[in-house]
Amino acid sequence: MLLLNPKKYDIEHSDKRFQEIIRKTIDFFESEGLKKIKDDDHQRIWYSDFLEFVKKEEIFATLLTPSEYGDKDARWDTWRIAHYSEILAFYGLAYWYTWQVSILGLGPIWMTENDSLKQRAAKFLKEGEVFAFGLSERDHGADIYSTGMSLTPREDGTYRANGSKYYIGNGNIAKMVSTFGKIADSDDYVFFVANYLHDNYDCVKNIVSSQSYVAEYALNDYPITEEDILSKGQDAWDAVLNTVNIGKYNLGWASIGICTHSFYEAINHAAHRRLYNMYVTDFPHVKQIFTDAYARLVAMKLFALRAADYMRVASPDDRRYLLYNPVVKMKVTTQGEEVINLLWDVIAAKGFEKDTYFEMAARDIRALPKLEGTVHVNVALIVKFIANYFFKPAKFPEVAKQSEPKNDDFLFNQGPTRGLGKIRFHNYKIAYNSVDVPNVKIFKKQTRLLKLFLLLAKPNNAQREDIDFLLTLGEIFTLVVYGQLILENAKIYNIGDDIINQIFDFMVRDFSKFALQMYSKTSSTRRQMRLCSMMMKKPAVNKDLFDRVWKNYIYALKDQYLMSE
């Protein structure tokens, strides 16, 4: 069973310590119960009970400390981090958030050559502390070119930090806040650590109305020594981008966790509710909605799992993950919104009820496409890879499932962030030619037409400067990448042809939708419009297959999970 069910958790990890962490985490939340989780959410109560549990069980210390600096079971293992992200979000985004911003805060620390700060971070993790990533600022968000945080050198070789940061999770309680700024006299970029306990650290306020603390903090003549500095110049710049590249991947897993819990709640409600003398799940349009939501959710998880494999095999010669990660960030999170929208159309007013998980999910799912770079920023990044992906494939060894226990060393030793245009990819046709499924065949025709579009009707100079035009092109291209990794992972996880066909049912429709958007652009040329019209296809219709998927996979989830009260 691909979808997470905490009461029937059946992933047998070879890592017994991680299996123990998962069991204890599930038991913690199920013992807390849905009522307490919802009451804490409504009253915006700081999750000290969760952080005490994390401290007692040394969970963050085990999962977020590289093996060189931690106990025997400690390592930075993307496989474990992904699964734990899913579980935390399954119970509530606030619990995932304090974990996520700790991951970001630790990024520049594990990338530094300052070993004493690494030792300090490992000690704090062991003691149950959380971390923060001081990048964004109030006036310009995460525009790192425009940072206003400044380190002013003094005659004794120390510095004074002045400036403020905004949107900083855990900024109220982190003893190591990785803070990005510039050195005043040279304008060089710099990363340094600050401590919320220092008198010159002013935690101004929580800028959101939430359990989570998303801080505005200010440093006022905060003393900094060389011992507090993580990196300078190009190294600091690279640390920002590499940290975000690592961390934004987890947003997709938050969406997966939220959608999975919401799906159980929605199918349970609909299957037991009678309207007009029939159960809600007997209505044809409701079956279609649930089937669409299920197919999208399974696709989200298949893609995100496969992207983790490419993160774990990454090296200086293989940086394919730099395409797949932003796809997780922008595609999986926006698909999460789509899943919640579909489920909400079924459960209707029930989705507003304060006692449901769904009421919280419907609000929180909106945040994920907007964090760690907007969807637009990530699509703009994805577009950079189109030429090499389609027209310059390279040969790589086949990548197996990367679930083995090991430390992901390369993630913190990536070096310069330049050279995206040189990254090569294996031939996407290998995955598409590995199956014989009707809707995959239709999708392959659409993909061939997209490639023809790029050859015969490629964007002109004005269109290449038009972000709106490129975003739509990026959405179409992303679907091809999305489908490729889904097919690769369907083979690994033995996903049957019925589910693959149902996934590509919505993929064909989404391809057609974006092709219509491209067709409708004011700047579209006649040749572009003709090719776009050819891309618009209808999925293959097979009622027997649809009925099998509904009965065997979707309706079968009824009453399979209900959170303890």
pLDDT higher than threshold 90 for residue 307? yes
Does any domain span residue 411?
Answer: no
3-state helix, strand, coil in the chain (%, to 5): 60, 10, 30
pLDDT higher than threshold 90 for residue 376? no
pLDDT higher than threshold 80 for residue 460? yes
Report, as an integer, the average pLDDT of 123-140: 95
- Distance of alpha carbon 240 from alpha carbon 108, whole angstroms: 7
Judge if 101 and 157 occupy the same domain.
Answer: no
pLDDT higher than threshold 90 for residue 340? yes
User: Which of these three, 95, 126, 157, is where a domain ends?
Assistant: 126
Contact between residue 259 and residue 86 where contact means Cβ atoms under 8 Å apart: no
pLDDT higher than threshold 80 for residue 542? yes
Does any domain span residue 414?
Answer: no
What is the per-residue pLDDT across 189-239, written as a single tens digit (0 to 9) for each? Answer: 999 999 999 999 999 999 999 999 999 999 999 999 999 999 999 999 999
Closest among 484, 460, 485 to 473, alpha carbons compared: 460
User: Which of these three, 126, 153, 169, is where a domain ends?
Assistant: 126
* CATH number, residue 185: 2.40.110.10
Judge if 96 and 187 occupy the same domain.
Answer: no
User: Which of these three, 97, 126, 155, is where a domain ends?
Assistant: 126
Report, as an integer, the average pLDDT of 477-494: 97
Judge if 40 and 111 occupy the same domain.
Answer: yes
What is the per-residue pLDDT across 82-121, written as a single tens digit (0 to 9) for each? Answer: 999 999 999 999 999 999 999 999 999 999 999 999 999 9
* CATH number, residue 498: 1.20.140.10
Judge if 156 and 286 occupy the same domain.
Answer: no
User: Residue 372: its pLDDT value, please?
Assistant: 66
Judge if 261 and 317 occupy the same domain.
Answer: yes
Judge if 141 and 207 occupy the same domain.
Answer: yes
State phi, psi for 232 to the nearest 5 degrees.
Answer: -135, 160
Q: What is the mean pLDDT of the chain?
A: 95
Does any domain span residue 403?
Answer: no
Judge if 61 and 194 occupy the same domain.
Answer: no
User: Residue 311: its pLDDT value, please?
Assistant: 96
Does any domain span residue 239?
Answer: no
Does any domain span residue 417?
Answer: no
Instruction: Name the band, by pLDDT with cuts 50, 70 and 90, for residue 415.
Output: confident
Percent of the chain at pLDDT above 90?
Answer: 89
pTM: 0.96
User: Residue 419: its pLDDT value, please?
Assistant: 80
Report, as an integer, the average pLDDT of 51-76: 97
Percent of the chain at pLDDT above 70?
Answer: 99
Report, as an integer, the average pLDDT of 300-317: 97
- Distance of alpha carbon 360 from alpha carbon 342, whole angstroms: 16
Residue 139 CB neighbours (<10 A): 9
And the tokens for 208? 């959101």
User: Residue 374: its pLDDT value, please?
Assistant: 67
What is the per-residue pLDDT across 5-33, written as a single tens digit (0 to 9) for each? Answer: 999 887 777 789 999 999 999 999 999 99
Cβ burial 248-265 (10 Å sphere, 16+ → b, else e): bbbbbbbbbbbbbbbbbb
* CATH number, residue 28: 1.10.540
Does any domain span residue 402?
Answer: no
Q: Which residues pair with 203 in a beta bridge?
A: 217
Judge if 205 and 268 occupy the same domain.
Answer: no
Question: What element of type H or E holds 132?
Answer: strand 132-134
Query: Burial, 14: exposed, middle or buried (Cβ in 10 Å; 0-12, 13-18, 19+)?
Result: exposed
HEC readout, 360-372? HHHHHCCCHHHCC
Does any domain span residue 240?
Answer: no
Does any domain span residue 407?
Answer: no
Judge if 122 and 142 occupy the same domain.
Answer: no
Report the number of distinct structural domains present in the chain.
Answer: 3
- Distance of alpha carbon 50 from alpha carbon 98, whole angstroms: 10
Report, as an integer, the average pLDDT of 275-298: 96
How many residues are there in the chain? 565
Angle at 526 between CA 522 and CA 531, to 5 degrees: 105
pLDDT higher than threshold 70 for residue 122? yes
Judge if 110 and 160 occupy the same domain.
Answer: no
pLDDT higher than threshold 70 for residue 242? yes
Judge if 45 and 16 occupy the same domain.
Answer: yes
Judge if 34 and 108 occupy the same domain.
Answer: yes
Residue 151, domain extent: 132-232
User: Residue 140: its pLDDT value, please?
Assistant: 81
User: Residue 9: its pLDDT value, please?
Assistant: 86
Q: Which residues pair with 275 in a beta bridge?
A: 278
Dmax over CA atoms of the chain, in Å, equals 83
User: Residue 185: its pLDDT value, please?
Assistant: 86
Instruction: Name the band, by pLDDT with cuts 50, 70 and 90, for residue 250.
Output: very high
